[in-house]
Amino acid sequence: MTAHPELQQYIEWITKAMGQGARQSKACEVIGLTTRTVQRWRNNGEVIADKRPVAIRPAPANKLTDDEKE
């Protein structure tokens, strides 16, 4: 998982490289990312934060009850 400030820095580098004539795929390759990853990070031109750490996940249906744990 990549921290939000780091995401923004990567996107900035890629955007700068593309502004100087580089292809997005080559710019991504240099820093070790795929173009698909960069596409997921962008949403309408803005870099979005990873929402996995704050996601609400329901308990599994087969979770043990407190009685079963004892």
Boundaries of every domain in the chain: 1-50
For the whole model, what pTM was predicted?
Answer: 0.66
| Residue 28 or residue 53, greater confidence | 28
Residue 21 has pLDDT above 90, yes or no: yes
Residue 2 has pLDDT above 80, yes or no: no
Cα(23)–Cα(19) distance, rounded to whole angstroms? 9
Kindly state the tokens that stand for 70: 């004892």
pLDDT at 26: 94
Average pLDDT over residues 46-57: 82
**What amino acid occupies position 28?**
C
Strand boundaries in 1-70, DSSP class E:
42-43, 46-47
